[in-house]
Structure 1
Amino acid sequence: MKPPDTGLIRPVEVITLPNEVQQHDHDHHQLVIALKGYSEFSIEGMQSLIIPGQGCIVTASSDHAFNGLGESEILTLNLPNQTRLDKYTNERLEPIFNNNHYFKIDSQFQCLLQLLVKEIRQSPDDLLVTDACKNTIIALLQRHVRTDFSQKLMQRNRINMSIIDNYIIQQIATKITVAQLAGCVFLGESQFHLLFKQQVGITPHQYILQMRFKFAKELLEDNSLTLASIASASGFANQSSFTHSFTKLQGTSPSKYRH
């Protein structure tokens, strides 16, 4: 989140998120912790839903999108390149801010956080208070945050790709969403997206498209089928969309590929 345009970056803010999706980047690190409701975040394509007790790290210059679902509030801590923390503390916290990730905080940290947020609400324009609260939070971050949350999920779970492949083949002529694939293996959409990208190396959407092209190439071997019927059977909206996507990603048009 970007603070109001006052010429200064506020060290910490309590923000009510809009329901409309917002997107931007900024030249400083940012720590986000959910305080109320549900918030959707996408950081460089890595999506997740965060609720109270969870948060995310947005590193400098990372493109990110966000929105609230209903009434939602978050706490944001902005960390300009030159912080007031001593060298030792900066070195301790460097591993936390060296990449984008999502995390959970423990119950002890949540209790402390409630007290600090109360102080911030009472003195939102007192930079001395808000800066002190920010430094307290990030100084305790290393001990109370499960920064390896996403990594542990990926190590503990592997997606059964045969189930995914079978579902895509059965539904190849229809629209297939990430949520549907996630449901096949009993995972939440954001967790599935993270695990899939880690395991396969591409996003679920890219994988679905590859499967559609593979199926279309098999159908192109049958000269009795029209390009329009192949496009429909492969799940494309129309022949024009199929031809455009095929040519862009395969380097040749469907008709040329057939010959």
Structure 2
Amino acid sequence: MSLLSIEDHPGGVRLLTLDRAPVNAFNLELMAAVSDAFREVAATPEIRAVVISGSGPVFSAGLDFKAMMKVSAEGPEAAQHFARTMHQAFIDIWTCTCPTIAAVNGSSIAAGYLIGAACDFRIVAEGPGEHGLNEIQFGGGFPAIAVEIGRSVMGPRIIQSLLSGELFDWNGGVENGSFTSSETPGALRTKALDTARQLGEFPQPAYAHAKAQLLAPFTERVMAESEEQKRKTDAIFASEETLASLMKHMQNVLKKS
């Protein structure tokens, strides 16, 4: 079964829909599917813009904790592969040369938030839902790409958001720069597709060049992350304290479900 629905719309717009019920949480396979989809976009000139959204009432609740725990139990090589696959998915979205629009149809948390934040324009549904980076609450480490994607949309506000781990609603997300605009749930998809079609009409070389220049301060810091820094982040996820906190968090989630 496909974890990522792909549809083509008029104007060279490709719609990608995360489709891993119940909350579109990312495991290794979904992250790889996202990367593959954006690489296909890069290799297909007829695709002028991309919209990414989520199936059901949630955009994405982040990483699949059960998958993370399983990977941690398999050893450091498996954990490193998981982390690098996640990194590549973020990079492939963030550096896509054509216009990218996130239609954030519900909660977008942690890795789910970053998937949306990596897009050029981020339209959020007005209504219930939580958004943001809460990893610090359960001991998760922050690779450079997570910090820089967050910084690219929030600016200095990323400091308080990241260190507090507090989530915010759609209106708070518009105020802090996480989302560029909001829309009613019923009109969200149409608005995103219309925006993508309009942006796709721009000359692509100019758009790609401007985008690369705007992102350069952030992407350069990501590229400068050393292997030692990456190992330190991996070690945080593998630490006993983090694993114990993750287990407690999973138990709380299961109690609520």
Give TM-score, length-normalised by structure 1.
0.29
**Quick check: which one's helix share is greater?**
2
**Greater C-alpha radius of gyration:** 1
Higher fraction of strand: 1
